[in-house]
Amino acid sequence: MRLKKISIGSVLEQLRNNLKSLANNSILTENNYVSTKALGVIVRKEVADYIRSWRFLIMVFLIVLTCIGSVYTAISNMAKAVEKTHPDQLFFFLKLFTVSDGTMPSFIVFIGFLGPLLGLMLGFDAINHEQNRGTLSRLLSQPIPRDYVLNAKFLAAYFVVSALLLSLGLMVIGAGMIVLGVLPSAEEFIRILTFLVIATIYIAVWINLAIFFSVRFRQPATSALAGLAVWLFFTVFYPLILSFILKPIEPSEMASAAEIIKFEKVRLLLVQFMPNELFSQATTTLLTPSIRSIGPLTIQQVYGSIPAPLPFLQSLLIVLPQIIGLFALTLLCFVLSYISFMRKEVRSR
């Protein structure tokens, strides 16, 4: 069998033609030049709207208040929390975010609890409110691609959330420095920053979910309720359902190690459908450097290991699946709202 000879010249020619058509296309798009500035314009307006809105102020007030509470309990319980022999004692500062005395939840638990509410609150009326006011059709009759509206809504909400969380986190660090008189190490600082980034991704899931509902449902009240229903389902009912399912198949204390591990794996899999569980696993691991695995470890696996904290990158490696999971959820919700928004018919009111 003879293969057709390919000369370098013909390949180059083809390449040149392809490039030429590509260049023509770009000229074409230049004619239909779309102002990318428009995206920035919308984002800026949305951010301004958020910051001035009452509900945002109320939410910020609640979050700041609870954070002060949790940091206060953390600081007053610091002495008890730091055991001399524990490897985590090197990471004194991270305790600020994780310690509680049982009466008041810790900072990460609070963010895990209030973050979804913040996200839902920012997104639940993003599209339908504009539509009900008749501004959506006016916005869409401007020469901007349709997805700019959706992108801008998300970006604005995400920007607001990131700014809020970052400043909160930094304030907690500052308070810790003043009250405890200890400076955070570089690694602690990186861990805290990573924690904050993960928190924003976690909240982005809820923002996108809320935006999706706001595209689907005409009434803001309906979309808000739908969002809250999903949130309640995952925080209250899903764990309940899980315990119903898992109770009967739970191995007895006499069961073999293999059986217990199998059960634990199933449990872990089912639990990880909850975005809040993904978040708490990721953040707890990051802020507690001594955690070596999220699932069960056998004695053989632990045997011989020095009870020392993991380096930052190793901790990050452990929770990488969780982070990717959160990211994928965000993307999924965004894609859903994108699909339903792009082909939506927009009437004036």
Partner 1 sequence: MANPIIEVRDLTKIYDGKPVVDHLNLLVEEGEVFGLLGPNGAGKSTTILMLLGLTEPSEGTVTIDGINATRNPVAVKKIVGYLPEDVGFYDHMTGLENLIFTSMLNGMSRSEAEIKSFQLLKKVGLENEANKKVGKYSRGMRQRLGLADVLVKNPRVIILDEPTLGIDPSGMYEFLNLIVQLSREDKITVLFSSHHLHQVQQVCDRVAIFVKGKVIAEGNITQLSRKLFSNGNYQIEFAVVEKTNIDALRKVLENISGIKQIEQNNDFFWIESENDVTANVARTLFEKGFNLRYLNRKEYGLDEIYQRYFINA
Q: Which residues bind partner 1 (CB under 8 A)?
A: 32, 34-35, 37-38, 41-42, 45, 49, 52, 130, 133-146, 343, 345-349
Closest CB 233 distance from partner 1, rounded Å: 33
Return all residues near 63 (Cβ < 8 A) that are at least 6 apart: 110, 114, 118, 164, 168
The Cα–Cα gap between 163 and 69 comes to 21
Nearest approach, Cβ of 26 to partner 1 (angstroms)?
16
- Tell which residue, 206, 229, 233, has the closest CA to residue 337: 206
Which class for 268: exposed (0-12), middle (13-18), buried (19 or more C-beta within 10 A)?
A: middle
- Find the shortest distance in angstroms from Cβ 29 to partner 1: 10
Q: Which is nearer to partner 1, 130 or 188 (CB)?
A: 130
Min dist. Cβ of residue 148 to partner 1 (A): 9
Q: How far is the CB of 19 from partner 1 (least distance, A)?
A: 24
* 100 contact partners, CB below 8 Å, separation of at least 6: 70, 73, 74, 77, 106, 109
Q: Which is nearer to partner 1, 48 or 257 (CB)?
A: 48
Other beta carbons less than 10 A from residue 74's beta carbon: 23
Q: Report the residue number, 16 or 218, with the smaller CB distance to partner 1.
A: 218
CB 122, min distance to partner 1, A: 17
| Pairwise CA distance, residues 299 & 3, whole Å | 60
> Closest approach of Cβ 50 to partner 1, in Å?
12
Of 247 and 347, nearer to partner 1 (C-beta) is 347
Place of tokens 């990471």: 91
Nearest distance from C-beta of residue 310 to partner 1, angstroms: 49
Q: What is the DSSP letter of 233?
A: I
- Residue 170 and residue 316: Cα distance in Å, rounded? 21
Please say which residue, 45 or 86, places its beta carbon nearer to partner 1. Answer: 45
- For partner 1, give the closer residue by CB, 35 or 243: 35
**CB nearer to partner 1: pick between 86 and 133:** 133
CA dihedral 159, 162, 167, 173 (to 10 degrees): -160
The DSSP-derived string for 48-89 is HHHHH-HHHHHHHHHHHHHHHHHHHHHHHTHHHH--SSSGGG
Q: What is the DSSP letter of 236?
A: I
Query: In the complex with partner 1, which residue's Cβ is closer, 139 or 190?
Result: 139
State the DSSP H helix or E strand holding residue 98, giving kind and residue range, or none if neither.
helix 95-98
